[in-house]
Amino acid sequence: MKQYGAEFFGTFWLVLGGCGSAVLAAAFPNVGIGLLGVSLAFGLTVLTMAYAIGHISGCHLNPAVSVGLWMGGRFPASKLLPYIVAQVLGGIVAGGILYVIASGKAGFSLSGGFASNGYGDHSPGGYSFLAALVTEIVMTMMFLLVILGATDKRAPQGFAPIAIGFCLTLIHLISIPVTNTSVNPARSTGVALFAGGWALGQLWLFWVAPIVGALLGALIYRYLIGPSET
């Protein structure tokens, strides 16, 4: 239960910190943190939680990561569903807290998407469904390659959280204009439930694509780059 609790609070922190920076601070009048700040915020949530709970649960914070680690031989199938449930619940609770905070400002509206992920008309840069699909698959694939490589027993010890956190930052720098960056179904679900409408209608892509990408990343690492570990 401590592992599941760690995943709940870790994912809570990821969604509150990452999506919170996008909703509350990205375009704050005159001194907004912008795309770079939001990207860094997501990376920092993973970096800080990796050191805080990595020794408890492994700090997945992401259903796609859990699936990828299972495929990579690093995670037992028996814990897969409880981890995913804990992660999604953490994301939803964070979305609720963020909604309470954001709605405390006069003129608040969900019309901006509430940091939800989208494609087509709801892509920040107007990118197509195909562009969004490819982006989410490839970015999550590379994320899993970095995670598996950085946590390999042959890698320098103690530095994995830094590599993983910066990788997520880089992923956001690349893909925020395309999909608002998911690579994490729990992150997408946590805000889409409150945004409703189109965000819920397009949510399926941000479950399917990251999981496909995670499976590909795990297979590539396991069979082409390095041996599996238990």
**What is the model's pLDDT at position 227?**
64
Vertex 89 angle, CA 36 and 144, to 5°: 50
- pLDDT score, position 153: 86
Degrees, nearest 5: CA angle 82-84-85: 65
Q: What is the spatial distance between Cα 40 and Cα 19, in angstroms, rounded to a whole number?
A: 12
- 29: number of Cβ within 10 Å: 5
Q: Half-sphere exposure of residue 25, counting CA atoms within 13 Å on the CB side?
A: 15
Ramachandran class of 62: left when φ > 0, alpha when ψ lies in -120 to 50, beta otherwise: beta
Check: CB of residue 160 under 8 Å from CB of residue 50: yes
Q: Report how far residue 217's alpha carbon sits from residue 180's, in angstroms, rounded to the nearest whole number.
A: 21
Which is nearest to 18 in space by CA: 128, 143, 131, 181?
Answer: 181
Q: Which pLDDT value is given to residue 31?
A: 72
Two structure tokens written together for 138: 């490839």
CATH class of 2-224: mainly alpha
Domain borders along the chain are 2-224
Taking only the tens of pLDDT, the chain with its 230 residues reads 899 999 999 999 999 999 999 999 987 767 788 999 999 999 999 999 999 999 999 999 999 999 999 999 999 999 999 999 999 999 999 999 999 999 998 888 898 889 999 999 999 999 999 999 999 999 999 999 999 999 988 888 889 999 999 999 999 999 999 999 999 999 999 999 999 999 999 999 999 999 999 999 999 998 888 765 54
The predicted structure's pLDDT at residue 27: 79
pLDDT of res. 155 = 85
Give SS3 for 73.
coil
Output the pTM of the full model: 0.93
For the stretch 118-169, pLDDT in tens is 999 999 999 999 999 999 999 999 999 999 999 988 888 889 999 999 999 9
